[in-house]
Amino acid sequence: MPVTEQVRRKLSDLPHKPGIYLMKDRFGTVIYVGKARDLKRRVSQYFHPSRRQGWDMKFRALVDAIHDLDVHVVKSEPEAMLLEGKLIKEFHPRYNVSFRDDKRFLLLKVNLNDPIPRFTLTRLKTDDGAKYFGPFANSGALRNTVAMVRRKFNLRGCRPLTPGESDYKHCLYGNLKFCTAPCIGNVSLDQYKLQVLAACEFLEGQTGEFEKQVEDEMKKAALAQDFEKAAQLRDALNDLRETTKKTEKFPRIPYTLPVSINPESDVRELCRLLGLSSPPDRIEGFDISNISGTFAVASMVSFWRGRPDRSNYRRFRMKTVTGQDDFACMAETIRRRYSRLRQELGKNQNGNEPANSAGETSTTEEIVEEPINAEELPPSDEMNAPWVPKPTTTFPDLILIDGGKGQLNAACAELSKLGLNHIAIIGLAKEFEEIYRPGESEPLRLSHDTGALKLLQRVRDESHRFANTYNAKLRLKKISESILDEFPGIGTNRKMALLKKFGSVQRLRLASVAQIAEVSGFGGKAAAELKTFLIARTEAGMGPESSKPNALDKPVSSRGGDES
C-alpha cells in the first residue's frame, strides 16, 4: 500500500527529539505504539523501500495497514518508555507484544502513618494515604538508589511492620549500624521520622550536595588508581541521577472513537445491504469479556444515527454462568437487557412497575454514563440538523452481536422467549468480518471500503473496548481489594482465615487483639502487630469514616450486574 499523503506530510514535520508514535489504520484504530530516541529517524525507517521488501511478514503487514500516525514529544528516553507502556496498556494495539500484560513499572512507597515507616517497592498505586515516588523505567537503578538512601539516612530495611527487640537480635542492618534501630530505643520515633522525611526530600531531587560528594570520592579513587572503587561510585552516581531525575506525569489520554464523515449515509447504506424496512436509527452492540472463565462481564453500547450515544451504555456482570461459556453469557445478557427494557416500556404505558417471574421489580443491569467528547462528533449531519441523542424509550432498530453463529443463535433464542422476534439482529465475526443473519446459512461479506461495514466495525470495536475496560476494572479491584496484603508476612491461608472468621476488613478493625489471636496461625504478638497495622491504616484515612473504602470493607451487594 503506498504511503498516504497525510502520512507523508507528517513525516516531513517530525522533529529530531525523543518521543512515542502511534500508528493507526484506516478506521482510526491504534494498531502499534513505539518509542524513539529520534522520532524523525525512527518513524521514517518504517517507510523505506528496502524495509518494505524485507522477510518479516508481520512488519510488512503493519506497514501496509498504516493509514495515519500521531506522535508525542517528551523530554527523555526514559519518559518515552513510561509513556509507551502506558499507551500500550490503554489501547492494546494489535501489533505490540511487550507491555500488553498487567505488569506495571516499579514505584517506591513509604507510609508516614506507620509506627516505624519503611520504604518498599510496589507496582500498584492505591489510595491508602502513603507517599509514592515514580514510576521508574529502570528498576535496577531504583533498587541501587534505595539501598544507597537506606545507608545514607540510616533507615531500616527489615520486613516487620513494628519491629521489636526480638527482631533486632537477627537484624543485619542494625548490627552493621546501617539503621539507627528505633525498635530498641536507640533513637526516638520522632527522630526516626525526621530521617524518613529527609530521605523523601532527597528522593524528590535535593541531591546536589551528595552528588558532588560522590563525584569527589570517585575522582580521588581514580587518582589513587583504585579503579574498581571508582567504577562502583560512577555507577552509583548514574543510578542516583537516573532515579531522581524529574519526569513528566502523563495524564490518561482520552479514548477517541473514530467516527464517519457522514454517519447517516452509512446507516442508510446498511439498511439497503441488510434489506431492512427502514434505516436503523438505534443500534445496540453487545460483547462478552472474560479471562479463563473469571470476571465474566458483558457490555452494551448504543449508537444513535451512526454516532455513539454514551449516556445509554450499559454493562453487566454475569450472575448465572460459571466457567468460560460465551454463548451462555450472551444469552444471559440479552435476557436481562430486554427483560428490563420490556418492563420499563410496560411501566411507561400503565404507570406501574411490572414484576418479574418471582414477583420482584429488581434492577438487573448497572447504568453507566460516559460524557460525550464534543471533539469526537461533527457539529451537524448532512441535513444540517444538530445531533441530539435519543433516549432509550423503545426497542432498538438493530442488535449487533460480536461473534458468529453460536453467539447469534443464543441471542435469538432469548429474544424468541421474550416475544421480540421482530427486532432485527445480526452477528459480526471478526476474522473475515462476516455478517451472520438469522435463518441464513451463508454469511454476508461486504467490501471493506463500504461505510456500512465500517459502521458495524465501530459499534463492535466500541463494545469490545467497553467490555474489556470493565473487566480490567474488576481485575484491578480484586488485586487491590484487601489491605491485608500489605501486612508483612501474611500469607493466603492466614488472610483467608481472618476473612472467614470476621467476614470483612471492617469487622476485623473492630475486633480485639484477643479475638484476632483466636484465628488459626495468629498468636498474641502477631495479633497485636495486626491490630497496630489496622489502626495505622485507619488513621491514614482508610477506616470506616473514609469516603473511599476498600472492596472488602463492606459486603458485596447482589443488586445489579456490579457491586453497588
Answer whether residue 90 shows pLDDT above 90: no
pLDDT of residue 245: 64
pLDDT digits (tens, 9 = 90+) for 381-428: 333 334 444 555 689 999 999 988 899 999 999 999 999 989 999 999
- Specify the amino acid at residue 111: N
Q: Average pLDDT over the chain, rounded to whole?
A: 76
CA 137 to chain centre: 18
Q: How does DSSP classify residue 527? A: H
Please list, in sequence order, all residues whose beta carbon lies within 8 angstroms of the beta carbon of residue 53, skipping any fewer than 6 positions away. none
Alpha-carbon span 76 to 83, nearest angstrom: 11
Alpha-carbon span 209 to 385, nearest angstrom: 66
pLDDT of residue 480: 47
- Asked, colleague to colleague, whether 263-469 and 480-553 share their fold, the answer is no
Mean pLDDT of 445-468: 87
Q: For the chain, state the CA radius of gyration.
A: 29
Q: Categorize the per-residue pLDDT at 539 as very low, low, confident or very high, splitting at 50, 70 and 90.
A: low
* Peptide bond just before 135 cis, omega within 30 deg: yes
Q: List 99's β-bridge partners, or say none.
A: none
**For the whole model, what pTM was predicted?**
0.48
Q: Categorize the per-residue pLDDT at 261 as very low, low, confident or very high, splitting at 50, 70 and 90.
A: low
pLDDT digits (tens, 9 = 90+) for 394-405: 899 999 999 888
Alpha-carbon span 410 to 405, nearest angstrom: 9
> Residue 382 has which C-alpha cell?
448532512
Alpha-carbon span 69 to 63, nearest angstrom: 11
Q: Which CATH number describes the domain made up of 263-469? A: 3.30.420.340
Alpha-carbon span 372 to 301, nearest angstrom: 13
- Please state the domain extents for the chain: 5-91, 106-244, 263-469, 480-553
| Residue closest to 502 by CA, chosen among 555, 547, 548, 559 | 555
Q: How does DSSP classify residue 387? A: P
Answer whether residue 232 shows pLDDT above 60: yes
> Residue 117 has which C-alpha cell?
515507616
Q: What is the SS3 string spanning 66-97?
A: CCEEEEEECCCHHHHHHHHHHHHHHHCCCCCC
Residue owning grid cell 448497572: 366
* Comparison of pLDDT for 141 and 239, the residue scoring more: 141
Fold held by 480-553: DNA polymerase; domain 1 (1.10.150)
Answer whether residue 104 shows pLDDT above 50: yes
Fold held by 5-91: GIY-YIG endonuclease (3.40.1440)
Answer whether residue 372 shows pLDDT above 50: no
